Amino acid sequence: MGLIGFSGAASPAGVHATPLRSGWLTRLLAVLAVAAVMLASSVVLDTRAQAAGDEGTIANDGVALFAGRDDHSVIATMYAGERVDVLWGPDNGLYEIRYYGIDGWVWAENLWVDGDGGAAGDTTGSAGGGDAGAVVNTDSLSVRADASFDAGILDYLGGGTAVTVIGDPVNGFAPIAYGDGVAWVYVDYLSWDGSISYSDVAVGGATSPLPETSNAPEHWIDVNRNNGAVTLYIGDEPQATYWGSLSYDTSDGGFYTTASGTYYVFSKYEPLAYTAYAQAYITDWVGFDPERDNGFHSWTRGADGAVLPYGAGNTAGCVGLEPSAAKAVYDFSYIGMRVVVHN
């Protein structure tokens, strides 16, 4: 708007109205025109730098994701080669990014903005120089939540299972596309040329937290909307029951309801993370209803991890659990697990 107004002030009519001053006026207009071009160029560059929709790559290991530009509470830790969506920046030396569904801020020196586009965790994207196909070269390969033998196990993959590696190894672990996010497997148990070097290969991956046979009883979770009971089952045998806090909207089907239906776990995230729905923090996220962004998680917490005074209250559709119960549900679940919500 400023540039348009300025250009209008230097109209041709103004030039013709002062013929006796045409020499200095012409020089003045020339200087102002150059300044306008420089200003316009800077505006274009600044707009490009702060355009949303770019994609970036985390440049270093152990990079902190902050809750806000001016709030440096750490809500996640990121690793070299992981892909993120760039939402804004640079702004005071930081970029606002989306990291596997979590919005936060990162120092600019820890991010390569490359403009490839696409969402973090999208298996069609690229990382670390591009996706690479591999197969599991052991009878049962642990799928972990982080690049460490101490990290929690999300799943087991049977020998011959195809995986998509989406970045460079970290601490001997390769990041793979897993559900809507990323998981880690020990790189020495992957075959890059499709060959298998061990015997008794069971082709196909296990979809349970234990390397069970195909006729083993199913692990699944039952949620009773009437009383909030969350029951963990193996086959028809209940293993544990916990009380869950459900939505304030008791109807069945709205966006903010804990809606009846059969779902399947699509994402897991254990560390403390910020959720805009509650404007607070949670742990032990287990997503099962992607249409409504619903999942199991701990009672809401502050940035320091302490449960808030209202932390056990009704949710906007998720199933809130006492922290030890949330941890139990997280440990029991795996990507692809069936979740049944009913009256």
Residue from 201, 207, 230 nearest 295 by CA: 230
pLDDT, residue 27, reads 56
310, part of any domain: yes
For residues 129 and 301, what is the distance between their CA atoms, to the nearest angstrom? 38
Same domain, 239 and 337: yes
Same domain, 187 and 245: no
119, part of any domain: no
For residues 269 and 295, what is the distance between their CA atoms, to the nearest angstrom? 11
Same domain, 31 and 67: no
Domain end position, chosen among 154, 174, 191: 191
pLDDT, residue 228, reads 96
For residues 289 and 292, what is the distance between their CA atoms, to the nearest angstrom? 6
Same domain, 287 and 233: yes
Predicted confidence pLDDT, tens digits, the chain (343 residues): 333 332 233 323 333 333 334 455 555 555 555 455 444 433 333 333 444 557 788 877 788 899 998 888 888 888 877 778 888 888 877 888 888 778 899 988 788 776 543 334 333 333 334 567 788 887 677 888 888 877 888 887 777 788 888 888 888 888 898 877 888 888 888 887 766 665 433 333 333 333 333 456 889 999 999 999 999 999 899 999 999 999 999 999 899 999 999 999 888 888 988 887 888 999 999 999 988 889 999 999 999 999 999 899 999 999 999 999 999 999 999 878 899 999 9
120, part of any domain: no
24, part of any domain: yes
| Domain interval for residue 294 | 219-342
pLDDT, residue 261, reads 94
Same domain, 62 and 93: yes
Same domain, 265 and 317: yes
Question: Based on the structure, what is the number of domains in the chain?
Answer: 4
pTM exceeds 0.95: no
Residue from 118, 242, 131 nearest 177 by CA: 131
Same domain, 137 and 245: no
197, part of any domain: no
pLDDT, residue 260, reads 96
Report the largest interatomic distance among the alpha carbons of the chain, rounded to a whole angstrom.
99
Q: For the domain that residue 153 is a member of, what is the CATH number? A: 2.30.30.40
Residue pair 151/176 in contact (Cβ under 8 Å)? The answer is: no
99, part of any domain: yes
Same domain, 62 and 105: yes
313, part of any domain: yes
Same domain, 45 and 59: no
pLDDT, residue 286, reads 92
pLDDT, residue 269, reads 85
Residue pair 288/295 in contact (Cβ under 8 Å)? The answer is: yes
For residues 98 and 88, what is the distance between their CA atoms, to the nearest angstrom? 10
196, part of any domain: no
Same domain, 29 and 100: no
pLDDT, residue 296, reads 97
Same domain, 40 and 74: no
pLDDT, residue 114, reads 67
Q: For the domain that residue 321 is a member of, what is the CATH number? A: 2.40.440.10
Same domain, 29 and 70: no
For residues 186 and 169, what is the distance between their CA atoms, to the nearest angstrom? 9
